[in-house]
Amino acid sequence: MKNTHTDFLVLGSGMAGLVFALRVASLGKVTILTKKRSVDSNTNYAQGGIAAVLGPDDDYEHHIRDTIQCGEGLCDEDAVRVIVERGPELIRELAEMGVRFSHTKGTFDLGREGGHSRRRIVHAKDTTGREVERALLYAIRRHPDIELLEYHLAVDLIRTGQGEVWGVEAIDLSTGRHRTYLARYTLLATGGAGKVYTYTTNPDIASGDGVAMAYRAGARLANLEFVQFHPTCLYHPRIKSFLISEAVRGEGAILRTLDGNAFMTGYHKMKDLAPRDSVARAIDNEMKTRGDRHVHLDLSAIKPARIRSRFPNIYRTCSRLGIDITKEPIPVVPAAHYMCGGVITDGEGRTNLPRLYACGEVAHTGVHGANRLASNSLLEALVYAVAAAESVARRFEKGRFPRRTTRRQSRKLRQSEKLEIRHNWDLIRTLMWDYVGIVRSTDRLKRARRELNIIQKGIDGALTRYALSADLVELRNIALVGSLIIRSALRRKESRGLQYLQDFPRKSRRFQRNTVVYSRKLD
């Protein structure tokens, strides 16, 4: 089978990957691989918006201060300053290319979310990610030098003896065939790993593929213990993974127990607009203390017309389920939402592996620290995708590709093999939810590590017995990412940001540093 050659290979079709692709397409051929449909990305599910200094009462220093305060002492201030100062200009560029942001009286309609001291959330009603994705994909499909291949699952990065990355091995899910894509530069933009947990706001694609591939190739990763749980995921038996945007609380909604108590007043001085880690732990504590399965989000302080105009998607979705949110509260629970750690990059999106870049949720730039400030994620993805493209443009030159052949074979799995994979998938996600969730303890983390080690040995055996299929690839990835989260959490013997460890309930100056992990087998 012939290898496919391209100048730039992008893994993932969210904002980071698409922005990068558009920026480098003038230099050479770009190939984008996405394992499902092109719109199946974390970007597409982002409701809230993009944080940026665009209001008359706002400035860079306020946004930087809010971000660093939320990050609990682990933000890289230089990285934060970069996204804050470059963001407004790039958001205006998105608007110029056709992203239909919400406006009021001729200016951006700015919302407010938890942890922000000003209204600075640029949005497209409550479907911001979907609107950004629409505009970017429209531009991608019109570009003659960009090829977007759906249903292509990256399996492993191709790494030379010198540590350079020259593309990936992948599976064409439409045919089951294995393919090799050689590229002069490869960008990881694969999103996060929410599917490592039972309850998540993420789409099914979020199985940590980029983090797992990068680790196996020898990339350095940081702060994987900091998994952000969004406080308000819709609790309903007929729908899964539906996020209730933090912007709803920004407009005045209040969290209440089932008997009507507004409990956030007892947990944080910012009450319902506290940072996400504080709100998620408060909800978790109220549910466990009272024995309730969920709490209520009360929108009665917001005018019905404003609810329908500002949150049309949330209003329609809840209405279809028989919940009129202009008259009754929304049942909500916390759910795994965002990885604040990831593949370590510098200010240009470069990893420690030559020719490999990373942007978006898969990357660790230093912006988020121990807890991400709401709506900084799309901002970070946008700014660092542009920075990575600029970096590549300064280095790009034609040259020979290394020789590479694909030897792996594929076949359809038997039903018994599928059941074994599905069983282990469910075991891992339940294990992570029960023992490595919002509130942790050293004993529970160690138990999770022991049980996951057993599961991983079984997966290693399956890799020798079965052909490499999409199901087996994703199972291998969530098992590895889960084990790296546990490993990182055990090394941080303190409670900081998104890591709350019951037997170490306070922050420690000793751990005011990043938790770095990498594969020692490749040293």
Instruction: Please give the structure tokens belonging to residue 232.
Output: 């308000």
Length of the chain: 523
- Rounded Cα distance between 69 and 393, Å, is 35
Secondary structure (H, E, C), 279-306: HHHHHHHHHHHHCCCCEEEECCCCCHHH
CB 17 within 8 A of CB 149: no
CB-CB neighbours of 92 under 10 Å = 15
Amino acid (one-letter) located at 94:
L
C-beta of residue 504 within 8 angstroms of C-beta of residue 494 = yes
DSSP state of 3: P
Return the active site residues: 276
Side chain identity at 318, as an amino acid letter?
Answer: C
Q: Which residues of 405-432 are buried (b: 16+ CB within 10 A; e: fewer)?
A: eeeeeeeebeeebeebbeebbebbbebb
Bridge partners (DSSP) of residue 332 are 234, 295
Rounded to whole angstroms, the Cα distance separating 351 from 359 reads: 10
Query: Pairing mode, if any, of strands 103-104 and 107-108?
Result: antiparallel
Report the DSSP beta bridge partners of residue 434: none
Do 501 and 492 form a contact (C-beta atoms < 8 A)? yes
Q: What is the CA radius of gyration of the chain?
A: 22
What type of residue is 382? L
What does each C-alpha distance from 190 to 78, 206, 233, 470 come to in angstroms? Answer: 25, 8, 23, 15
For the chain, the distance separating the N- and C-terminal CA atoms, rounded to the nearest angstrom, is: 32
Distance between CA 266 and CA 112 in Å, rounded? 22
B/e letters for 230-264, b = 16+ CB within 10 Å, e = fewer, are bbbbbbbeeeebbbbbbbbbbbbbbbbbeeeeebb
Q: Which amino acid is at 87?
A: G
Q: State the DSSP H helix or E strand holding residue 221, giving kind and residue range, or none if neither.
A: strand 221-222
20: phi then psi, degrees, rounded to nearest 5:
-60, -45
